[in-house]
A = this chain, B = another copy of it.
Amino acid sequence: MTVELQEDNRGATIDAQFKALSDGTRRALLEYLVREGEQSVHALTAIAGVSQPMVSRHLGKLKRARLVTARRAGRETFYSARAKGLAPVVQWMAVYGALWSQRFTALEDMGA
């Protein structure tokens, strides 16, 4: 029968998003964008603790995961956290978090 773990269309995005979020530096960049709003690569490099090329690559990954958007302005590129970007992951959490609670909440209210 194979309940079959298949990742469907949306699955690719989920995968990309979890992968994108699984790196501390990337999360930090994202958190900074969320808190402070649109930032240039230059500004982000200043706080990232890694080299500028690395920041560019991290931002590229966040962009492919649709968690940020880029806006070119002259020689600078401004990145912003993308509205509704977390939706796929949030949705996954909602579904499995819910089942999770449903299965356990009654059993052990604050247990392990």
Chain A residues engaging chain B, CB cutoff 8 angstroms: 2-5, 7, 11, 14-15, 18-19, 21-22, 24-25, 27-32, 34-35, 37, 47-49, 69, 81-86, 89-90, 92-93, 96-97, 99-100, 103-104, 107-108, 110-112
The complex is assembled from copies of this chain, and their number is: 2
**Neighbouring B residues of A108 by C-beta, 8 Å:** 83
The verdict on A31 contacting B96 (CB below 8 Å), with A83-B108, A84-B104, A104-B83 known, is yes
Helix, strand, loop or mixed for chain A's interface? Answer: helix
Contact call A24/B37, Cβ cutoff below 8 A: no
Cβ contact of A47, chosen from B4, B22, B24, B100, cutoff 8 A = B4
Shortest Cβ distance from residue A78 to the other chain B in the assembled complex, whole angstroms: 15
Nearest B residue to A20 via CB reads B22
Nearest CB on B from A20, distance (A):
8
28 sampled A-B residue pairs with Cβ under 8 A: A2-B47, A4-B47, A4-B49, A5-B28, A5-B29, A7-B24, A7-B28, A15-B24, A18-B22, A18-B27, A21-B22, A22-B22, A27-B92, A30-B96, A31-B96, A34-B99, A34-B103, A35-B99, A37-B103, A81-B100, A83-B103, A83-B104, A83-B112, A85-B100, A86-B93, A86-B96, A89-B93, A90-B97
